[in-house]
Structure 1
Amino acid sequence: MTDNLGRGASWQAQSSQSWLTVTASGVAGGPMQIQADPSALATNTIHYATVSVKSSDSGVSAAQPVVVALWKGTESVREVATTAAVASRYTRLLADPVRPYAYAHSNSGMVADPVRPHVQLYSNSGTIDVYNIYTGALVKSMSAPGSTLGKMLASPDGAYLYAHDLAGRQLKVFDLREGQVVATWPLDASLSVFEGGLIDLIYARPNGVGVLVVSTGQVFRASDGKLLATKIAQMPNTDRLVHGLQPFRGLSSSYLAASLDGMRVFSTDSRLYMVPNTPFYWDMDYTETNEGTLSVTKAYAANLGTTLDAGLSQAGGIAMSRDGSRVLMLSAVAGISLWSPADLSKDRMLAQDLGLQSDTLNVTPDGNIVVAGSTFGQGSPQFHVLSPDGRLLKTQVTRIAASTVKPGSTGTISALTADMAVSADGNVAIQSAIHDVDTNFGYLLTFAPIRP
């Protein structure tokens, strides 16, 4: 538990369900332990609980509740595929931060539910399909008619999903409990069609207030869509040149990540340019002045020195380490670079000899790094699991007998590395997949335990 001013405020916590116990009280800076006892719970069901947190300190407001979802299955976690194929390949995937769900669509991605055991997918028809990552069953579909959906992001409490609508140049806000669009937030209309297809989104909580940061330079308050900033991080702190090139080209079409306290946003350089790719950051501060005000600092770009080798080739992703001590930046050609979050000094390189896939950088709750490989292993694309210090722990391939999806079918369902997400607990790899022989079989998703 932390407080934004670091004053060691006292807190009290209470669980809404008897099967979930929580540390009753403490002070900021100390741990709050949450423990579940699933023994009396029904099987093949998602069970929910909320941990309410409050403080007797008069200066503390808007303490963040903790939403917990627990899936109790009748079988051990195993490799499964979706139970029905679809005509178009899922290319955007998202894991729910709470539920065992995955969200997916076929325009360009998927996302794992942050709460539920679900993955969400989306399509050119404006439809997001929701799957259970443990059974492969389709839970439901959510629709935004007329939309062409792109990047997806879920709020940390699993309440809302934000999806970029390329056709409308806007964000669609889905209520994940109701499964429908509840708001639309306009984006910068000046972006080119190509730049619009490369928009990134992140969720941050400066001073405990949730905001949505978009690589258009806009920042929205997550609770109601209030536009807090329109053109952030337009210029760096320096006009240094590297071999005659300006190393900083701006926020548009970059990848984003936030510090653990939500006060600092890190960005790659624009992915439209190849060399050198220069990470940068800016700081944010939220106050309740004028019904909500966000102040931002000028962007600070990493000092690459005088050689192009100090940077990286085209950016493929950015993330924070689990402990907040390093910024990770992916380059499909060069590997994963580590940078200091304090001054963006470059530390070292990881996985330089693996060959990696852009848009697949994941950091799990235990600090491990999961990233897809761009090479093939055992006849099928593979993904790699690295320890927090960069050691290669395993290389894994997802291949499932087609007969598990269609009884009597021969051949194998093979995962594709270009589209990948990892469940919120870090235990399941979610990937688009295809039958390795029958092109009429259709496209699927696979859910594979990340084996120890």
Structure 2
Amino acid sequence: MNTLRGKCRGTSLLVLGLSLILSSACSEEVRLTVEPSSLSFEATEGDYSEPAPKLLTGQLLNLGEDQRVFLSLVHTNNGLQRVEAPLTNPSPIKVYPKQPTRGGDTHQDVVVIAACEDADCKHHFPGSPATIPVTYSIKGRLRIDNGIPHDRTFHQVVGDVPPPAVPIELQGFERSWKAETNQKWLKLSASSGQTPATLMLSVEPNTLPEGTHLADVFISDAETLQTWPVHVRLTKSLPYLQVAGEELRFADKVDGVHPRRQLFVTMPVATASPWTATIDHGDGPRWLKLSAMAGTTQPNPTAPLEAFVDETDLPPGEYRATVTFTATVEGQTLTQVRQAELRHHLNQLRVNRYGVALMRTPSRSRLSESIPILEGSGSKTTTWTASANQDWLSVTPRGTTGSNLTLTANPAGLAPDIVHVATVTVRSLETVNEHTLQVGFWVGASDAVNPVTVPSVFRAVEVDPIRPYAYVHDGATLFVHNLYTGARVATLDGLGTASGGLGLGGMAVSSDGSVLYVVDGDARQVVPIRLSTLTPGTRWGLDTGTSQNLTYVRPSGVGLLIAGDGHIYDADTGARLPTSSPFAARDTLSASLNPYTFCTLGACTQDSCGPSRCYFLGFFSHDDLSVIPHEELSADATAVAVNPSGTRIYVASGPPYEFQVLNRGPEGPLPSLHAGAPPNGLVIDVDERVYGSAYTRTGPADVWIYDRDGAALGTLRLGNSTAGIRDGQLKVSGDGRRLVALTEDSLKIVSTP
């Protein structure tokens, strides 16, 4: 409440707004007048500033000398920002509106001016309080794309349906608009209307040639005539004929035949187009066939086109062919060419297992093993012979491809508690083709210690495929432990090149048990260790990358190391081998005894994991390797294992926590196998029993065991309340009798069911 003292000076002429007010003599009573009696404002939505203020004039008439007046000025603020008035008589009162809001809004406010005889304003002078209504109207404004019009683009492939229409959003309160284009191929869903509205743009490109075409849409406000352009670009291109699928490279046979290669003839257009194929063999025999020589393109075909080898009267040799696919779309001829290669050799043997572990203790034994001798290439049955260099091992002396080589150990007269090793040689009688197998035989004087616990913090463990040995390191020193007694057999120091740092990393063992490969992470080198003498050999370097994992495969009897750096190396020399297609570096690697399949798991960060998949490995020679992706794994995969024949892939994943089973062979499908906690390890033994581990410090089990048909065989608890099983550190012995795991505080060895 403000006060104002006045003094009567007789009659005076006062200007109030546009009105003339004549004051009376001092004898008249005091009166409050405010002019004008109302105010109104107008603005348009989207204006960056509020409208200019407007003026009210308030005056106290007949104010006597030394007469005290108590003044009050209040207002509502629906659309008003503030009201300002000086303590003068008369008083210019400025009324300020707010910045405009939405179009169509009308704000109603009042300005109330009071003149009173007392501070509590119980006694008003005549004319008080004066209430002045204020109206604030906001008109709509035409807006396009929320005020920032942006370009529209269309892409159409010749022969395909026109691209879908795209919208232009027109906003604003009840604004009338008009729209037009400057090209006939650009169509509008409407030429006029009232906001809010969605104007759809579509194109009719069939009569246009290939290339880029430009147009504009002009949208105007029907009242203000303000116009906005929207630029439109249409790109019309030829389709491309794509022949996706596997490489047409045929070398080793699987079960006596060259595997068929699957192709998919596609074109990224909805309209189907006919295609034809031709095969050019040059002057050579017509060895390559397709399951169809003509067809119709589809954007996403499901039925593959198969390429296969016709061996009828085909002599041994190396052959090439060119396959040309042709399609015609609106008079345009499209082609795609695929090259095919065949290496058709004389009959050769194929052996999938090069190492065998046998054992005998007082209560348990594994004295015999049968290994299929398969057809490596050629179409005829091949006769083979086998012999062993130790009398305690008997072998099937003769057979034909498709039959088994049976190995049987006789413990009579053999010294106990040592590993006996024999070499078995398998030869073809028709070609110069020979395979060498290593057989280890443990004769224990007493039963296995169960369980074995070796307290220490280890990083990685690997097992020998023919000896009952576990190779384990702590990042600096490699230790060798007997799986049946738990005794430390040997200690190897000095394998790493630096103290601290990365230290020793991943390990892999050759399938015949001859060499252990250890990664020196600091030097980015592989250290080969000859296991018959436990002596390190010549180091060789890895390529770039941070993954330290290795896995060993042996296609066509040639040892290869697949490394986590995304490359394949000769296991004997360390030479990096060229591949027909690279695979990305991975944190986890797993391969089958069948050397044609290996799998990788993507490296994980805190937010996500890289892709995980399995590959076919085609081995032509050291200069010619083929790596073909064939199975995408689930994004949450944490471990993977392939059965010995390569026909089933087991994938640990979750939640839900389980071991998925992917079938690729004649066996029937299996449901997922249960895991009671987040799984982190998978391993399969020679009898195709599946062992899956999980990291958990609670619960009754952290290992689940299943047979090859998915039946549960039992569970184990290897970790404890303070130490769980480390990721990927679950292994099984070559004879399938002992299970090995690294926990966070020890090496654990137990007997299998």
TM-score category of the 2 structures, normalised to the smaller one: 0.7 to 0.9
Equivalent residue runs for 1:402-421 within 5 Å: 416-418=724-726, 419-421=729-731
Question: Residue 138 in 1 paired to residue 493 in 2?
Answer: no
Contact 1:415 1:446 in 2 (8 A): no
In structure 1, what is the Cα distance between the partners aligned to 2:610 and 2:628?
21
Determine helix, strand or coil for the equivalent of 2:556.
helix
Alpha-carbon offset, residue 296 of structure 1: 1.3
Question: Residue 3 in 1 paired to residue 3 in 2?
Answer: no
Residue 293 of structure 1 corresponds to: 623
Cα distance change on mapping 1:414 and 1:223 into 2, 3 Å: same
In structure 1, what is the Cα distance between the partners aligned to 2:616 and 2:409?
39
Q: 1:76-118: CA deviations, max 9, x gaps?
A: 2231435x744xx012111111101000012xxxxxxxxxxxx
Residue 707 of structure 2 corresponds to: 387
In structure 1, what is the Cα distance between the partners aligned to 2:609 and 2:718?
34
The one of 37, 41, 49 aligned to 2:422: 49
Alpha-carbon offset, residue 53 of structure 1: 1.6
The runs of 5 or more residues in structure 2 that have no matched partner are 1-372
In structure 1, what is the Cα distance between the partners aligned to 2:592 and 2:752?
26
The one of 331, 337, 356 aligned to 2:653: 331
Identical counterparts, % of pairs: 25
What letter corresponds to residue 672 of structure 2 in structure 1?
L
Cα distance change on mapping 1:259 and 1:425 into 2, 3 Å: closer
Alpha-carbon offset, residue 35 of structure 1: 0.4
Residue 28 of structure 1 corresponds to: 401
Question: Residue 103 in 1 paired to residue 103 in 2?
Answer: no
Residue 160 of structure 1 corresponds to: 515
Residue 77 of structure 1 corresponds to: 448
Equivalent residue runs for 1:172-183 within 5 Å: 172-183=527-538
Determine helix, strand or coil for the equivalent of 2:573.
coil
The one of 242, 262, 268 aligned to 2:601: 268
Cα distance change on mapping 1:324 and 1:51 into 2, 3 Å: same
In structure 2, what is the Cα distance between the partners aligned to 1:420 and 1:263?
23
Alpha-carbon offset, residue 300 of structure 1: 4.0
Q: 1:159-184: CA deviations, max 9, x gaps?
A: 11111221111211111223232122
Alpha-carbon offset, residue 339 of structure 1: 2.2
Question: Residue 362 in 1 paired to residue 683 in 2?
Answer: yes
Determine helix, strand or coil for the equivalent of 2:435.
coil
Contact 1:276 1:312 in 2 (8 A): no
Q: Which structure has the larger Rg?
A: 2
Question: Residue 92 in 1 paired to residue 394 in 2?
Answer: no
Cα distance change on mapping 1:135 and 1:388 into 2, 3 Å: same
Question: Residue 431 in 1 paired to residue 733 in 2?
Answer: no
Number of residue pairs aligned between Structure 1 and Structure 2: 369
In structure 2, what is the Cα distance between the partners aligned to 1:275 and 1:171?
26
Alpha-carbon offset, residue 19 of structure 1: 1.0
Greater mean alpha carbon deviation, residues 19-28 or residues 68-77: 68-77
Question: Residue 284 in 1 paired to residue 618 in 2?
Answer: yes
**TM-score with structure 2 length normalisation?**
0.46
Contact 2:551 2:562 in 1 (8 A): yes
Contact 1:206 1:286 in 2 (8 A): no
Determine helix, strand or coil for the equivalent of 2:467.
strand
Determine helix, strand or coil for the equivalent of 1:207.
helix
In structure 2, what is the Cα distance between the partners aligned to 1:415 and 1:376?
6
Write 1 or 2 for the structure with the bigger share of strand.
2
What letter corresponds to residue 217 of structure 1 in structure 2?
G
The one of 366, 371, 374 aligned to 2:692: 371
What letter corresponds to residue 740 of structure 2 in structure 1?
I
What letter corresponds to residue 233 of structure 1 in structure 2?
P
**TM-score with structure 1 length normalisation?**
0.74
CA RMSD of aligned residues (A): 2.9
Q: 1:10-66: CA deviations, max 9, x gaps?
A: 2111111111100001112110000011122111121111112222222x43x2211
Contact 1:319 1:362 in 2 (8 A): yes
What letter corresponds to residue 135 of structure 1 in structure 2?
T
Q: 1:305-344: CA deviations, max 9, x gaps?
A: xxxxxx63433222212343211222254422222447xx
Question: Residue 256 in 1 paired to residue 584 in 2?
Answer: no
Contact 1:218 1:231 in 2 (8 A): no
Question: Residue 16 in 1 paired to residue 389 in 2?
Answer: yes
Question: Residue 321 in 1 paired to residue 321 in 2?
Answer: no
Equivalent residue runs for 1:162-201 within 5 Å: 162-189=517-544, 191=545, 196=546, 198-201=547-550
